[in-house]
Structure 1
């Protein structure tokens, strides 16, 4: 391997050990997700052209990426891939041709209808002595193969003594991404549900629009639904979105959870309409998990998801939704043979040397019978084989379960079984572990180890022992999120322990502990978010997003308004980059309207959040100018230069949206903000203020001043790895070039924004760049191509609710001209084509326009 090669001018997303993944996108989407997960689990960096956006990017681009990669992974099935105009081979084969002398791991999925050209490529690959070649059947098997092969390469070829690389960081989560929230990866193999799986898959693929899987908690509804969704994946070309409703808390927030899963950010207060528009032309599946938590919202959800759309809905619920058109599939317990197989597998996970033998066969049969074939009960009981024999377990269950179940005769039979098994498992804990388990029940989604230790409120060693006991007892589950450890609690267990907390009068105390943890976490995160450590904290905050919401809600409900403000304020960059400013503004408005007194500082914070978005959305924002000006004075008195600078930026944008924009006042405020951000050493704040100043210069057609500002932003972005604002700066530079007649340079700039946006998953950036290419094509008198770009951007904005104040949209004038000109009909043909086209094809078309201009700009 050539470890000393020089990196190309186009940099890969990070500097970790890089694995280039080559495959077709659509037919191997589940496999690509599996390989990405395997690579990230080993703390490597996957180099992938995702978002369905770049099946064949410019040759120079993926050549540079290949040159910087350390391992080549090829995944092939039946398709040969798309051949770009003017090319003799597909991007798939070209990537193989250009791959440098690095280890190559090749995986071939069994298929019956393989393209002849792919067979030719595979024949070449088989003859290559440097390639490792293996067949696989599904994504689960591929995960194991890739993980094992990469681990072997690490051990054999990439030992630390030879690499001279910095320490590996946790894989980055793209906080700005608006991709669908996909299906969770199961921890275990689905057993004993073959007939159920076939039936449910058939319902989904044969036209049922609304299917509900019902059954008691712990019976395996979610596990079956996820498996059926995966099996039916090819029937839903626009993807599958997974919505976990256990974390929602109340019916009124259910639509927000759906919008989040669809990748909709900052849709305003009309979430229902945003969801309807997003789904209007999409053939996709939405999986609503645990609907019984928000069953009152079921009619509204079903109407928004199914009416006037091509989408289908799969729900899991303990009770039917009772909505017109609902097909109900009731899930019962596992059959004895399958239940015993599940129990043995779970027992081996807890005690690897456990085996079914003639000596313990009778005990295993008795255990399965006692637990009624309920999967979660089997898992809880199997965990106890770490410390007792099957015979001792039978005896314990025989004594405990009937006694514990007697108190719940109002519950269905299977529900009594799971409740009794939970109670029995908890009684086997020591006092410290039992106390911690109850407190952890207030986390709606999950928690990190640091949070668990905080909730224990005692000696750290004792807390760690308690966490280990809960994991060993299967009462909480441990997963790795990159290099972070993340714990979750099965829904039936969480419901039970919350009931226990409430019955003991300890629920408020636990919720208070939870909120205090996140107040201090927000303070630490806020300090780090204005440094290069931002990239380490953003993924963590993504994990903690729902817990932060729960903490803010509790503080507002408890009228601890100043604490709520201090949790909100430090996380501004997170709310902003994660597209949650609408939600944050609602919290700010709630603070302002809450009964009780706010400190001047909290009032200024609430004013900022309550009015910041109005400054962009309203065309007559005079009502927000005075409160924002008061907030500036408050932050100045408090000595908070960050707050002062931030509100000044908001004031500047508010002045622009007046009927007669106040450019002079806006420039004055933006310059003051920039100076303050510079004084406190906040480079991210400087990027926002600098971008605002560049934008103001561009609006006034001061092209030289605008170019200088945006080029400064790009330099600073590259110093601190701020990829979001780097893309924004390229976008504005592209419009400067369009307006000054330099279309070749404009293509390069919009291409750079396209590249950055696909790398970080920022689909709003994709929409902006496609609108830029629309303007270029229009100026080149290619109306049909212009329409294709515009239509793709238009549908992308609709699906993700990425709407922009029309006053600030640079392409509006060009749009009006082409629609009023002689080529209007051609434009509409292209527009409809763009709306119906695959996004990857449209983006590939954009990248084809960049060729040549990109290299010229780089040199």
Structure 2
């Protein structure tokens, strides 16, 4: 219990009684005991018999606006109960409590509104805690001159503390943390009161206050030190020395430490009689005050080890360091940590000057003087006083939040550094000062994991953003911890909030009433979600919205407009894109670069200088949401969305041509950087009937780019969505283009649409092109080409397929369209490969290669090299095939063409297996499977599983072979892929052979042999490895008549019947 003298307690009681007689305000007393007063009526704690009812009132009294969410109440009052039981208890408690309040006055209400319980009285509610905190904050936040009035104000605040908060509730209750905070605030007031009186040379009140602090906290070394000084200056030398002895004994007993060197030095000075002379007030203050005024942070500092060391080194080696960064990113926290770490490096310590609340730049010198509490001197200006005081001192001064004082701060800092040779200054600001010798350090957000990647839980826990969110969440929701169940949501929260500490802390506070899964799902409305920060914080740090409003208000009108317009981009933008989309209506194109520079200086955008010599401009996602909200309010959002869409359509259409020529690698990299912008432009177009036509054209313009980079899943999803909603809203021309691109995309994925559906769509596009006239003969031929390949690949109809491809080739040749001619020959080659017509295939290959070289299309040239590999593979020259495939793989890897590289690696794995290079085969197949799975090429995945099954058979690992082949078989059936299905059946035939089910093995091998010949699969050369050796083993182990009969029976079976035999045979195989 904190000691209070009788005079103070009596005065306070009088004040409280006066307050209680206010006729229309509900007054709640919490300090020293609990009761409510309304007019002349009192409700004491004893009159509320239910313990939970008393706690509920106390919690409401201590909550802002006497308002608490239902879920918070349930969690705090009945944490151990199930939700239903807790809700029942809440109802019963309210039922008990309402009549008690009504007895005070019928107008006092205790009701739910919007899931929040509210305590209301006609003219409001106040409490002694609120009165004390308001008075204490006013006094503790005062940085002006010390006078008798400031001392009186401090004394009045002390008198408002009539005892500890709710002492009857014990040491480990709901109110323990708040009780300790208020007690510490009271002790801080007593210490400040003592310092004020010492400054004014009024020693007895200082001694009284310090004795009260020591009574409450016997090991408070600063209080003992100040009391020693007060005794000595008051002529009580023996009392001062006795106080040192008391401190020594207390520290030894409770902490096992000795008094600090400063305190010991003060004892020596008192012994030597040096303090009797009563030095000047400024020196008095300097001797006893701590060597810093850095605040004691309630919450821990997490992460930023690298940043701490870098900034610490910069401050030691440079006299002016400015920490810049976006609002809420943690500049002040980092500065505090650095300042604490440098306490021993500066002889006279480190001092913090908070400038956020200062609006007049002319008051800067005064604000710094107030930190050092220097008294005025006649005939000496504030600036001269400050310069004289700092001139020879070895100090670090932290000027915090300077961005709004750029009219005065740079000049003052420059003057201080030039006048005071040992002074170092550390600044936090959202804008640099641009002074000579200034070193700027950009404070980044906390590092976050990528929620789109699969990362082990132990690795996720190492990220600073995750550590901060988890620790702060645990403080609001005891027991909260990172787990496999919530890791994905926690990762998403950290990434979506850009790792901004303020945002993460505000989000963590929401875990009191929301699960992390619910929190993650609500981040699209981040500014309404993240409210309710610490009331002790500056207003601009209480919500994310307020933090950004502060920065936004410092911008010029043009800067505000550009920031709004930049929010339409996703994943950043180039200068050219910003000029094209954001210029117009108050901003000229030539002004955009300077405005971007200003926004970067204000830490509202960040710039990446890429290796290609290009700069790219980014908004953090949280700032983007803020700016987008402002853009929406301005009414310009639809216009900017349309500009954005049109710009990226033009870029995609140019890219569609360029990626087929010699500049393709440059353009593919360029388009890769804009993938997010393409995606968001298309998604917005789907939401607007006005922009749908342009959106569909953009989808079509990206098909070849997506094909070459392996991003076909996203492309096919967009195309199919456009097909579904766009029929009535797009022109006939665009419909025909869309139908072609649907057919092309589905063909290459080999899924999502059945072959008949693809054919129907392509036939419709051909019909539309014909109706549009001869002008579109090239487009008609492109649709015919893909339709022909569809017949060839999905229906195994080489006659009709090759006829359509040849018709297309004729048109391309006549039009001298070299690129489409080369591509058509590439597709026609499939026919001759299936027919095993070596001479015809080689002739096409040579023509195709020449045409690709003419186009300058390296990707197309890699396609012809791949074709050479397939040619030699089908004709059994595995070594040559391997060389060509490896060469093509190198080129396609440069393009990032995952869709193709995974297939080439699959073939290389098969070849390596055939050539008995088993380790290499294993590596190729595993990597191929991972890539195919990543891009959703499930036919390739199934094919690889089949090959791996044969690999396991070779090692006689029947269990693993069965697992791989069963999975491959299921996928082949889903995909209707006959080729893979046949090879899976062959694998099970080999398993039956190893398990001595010889008749079943022969039947299944016979089915495979018959159907491989029927479909003329390009993979047939593997038959000599996958099937023929096992068939020969069967022949050697069976009588010739038995073998022939089983072979004949198998050749008559359908594939469905063969699959049924496979499934039945699995029950006969020993495991």
Question: Per chain length, whose mean CA-contact separation is higher, i.e. which structure has more relative contact order (CA < 8 Å, sep 6+)?
Answer: 1
TM-score between the two structures when normalised by the length of structure 2: 0.39
Q: Which is helix-richer, 1 or 2? A: 2
TM-score between the two structures when normalised by the length of structure 1: 0.48
Higher Rg: 2
